[in-house]
Homo-oligomer: A and B are copies of this chain.
Amino acid sequence: MAIHTDLTPSESADRLAIRELFDAYAHCADRRDAEGQKALFTTDTRFAVYMDGDRAEPTYVLEGREALTPVFDDLNRYDATTHFNGQSTVTIDGDRATGESYTIAHHVFSEEGSRKIMVASLRYLDTFTKLDERWYFAERKLILDWSETRSLTAPSAA
């Protein structure tokens, strides 16, 4: 934690914009706005996915904004998603920033006549960059800490 003796109107604006960037990712994902979601990234962005926590090498890496298309399109197979955002801790250094942000992503789907939910507990380690007054994801490391698939069928009364 840094000591913040004063938070200038300029830094406050940067912090708000970066938080809105984090939340816009969730909004675009949940509303299936793949183009809007891609526009949050720099054209030469790097998106690295760690499916087994952050101790190992990335499971896969996507290079460049266009490489994100199949990832975001894949959300269309769910009946509903909820990218629920928690804390986001950001350190700003001029036109660059880094942060750790928590998301629990809920994915509702149907399988063999049964309704289910897959829950993914994610942390994003991000690098942000400011270009022409606007903040973008320059790099995202997505870390899956744990996941769970449950039936959405109500338990019996007993």
Q: Which residues of A contact B (CB under 8 A)?
A: 1-10, 12-17, 20-24, 26-27, 30, 53, 79-80, 82, 84-87, 89, 100, 102, 104, 106, 108, 111-112, 114, 116-117, 121, 133-134, 145-146, 148-152, 154-155, 157-158
Kindly list the 6 A-B residue pairs having the minimum CB-CB distance in the complex, ordered from nearest: A4-B13, A7-B12, A6-B9, A23-B87, A85-B87, A149-B154
Which B residues are in CB contact (< 8 Å) with A23? 87, 89
Nearest CB on B from A43, distance (A): 17
Nearest CB on B from A151, distance (A): 4
> What's the dominant secondary structure at chain A's contact region?
mixed
A-B contact pairs, 13 of them (CB 8 A): A4-B14, A4-B17, A9-B9, A9-B12, A15-B16, A20-B89, A80-B146, A106-B121, A114-B157, A117-B146, A117-B148, A149-B154, A150-B155
Which B residues are in CB contact (< 8 Å) with A14? 4
Q: Are B146 and A114 in contact (CB under 8 A)?
A: no
Which B residues are in CB contact (< 8 Å) with A12? 6-7, 9, 12
Q: Are A112 and B158 in contact (CB under 8 A)?
A: yes
Q: How far is the CA of A9 from the CA of B84 in the complex (A)?
A: 29
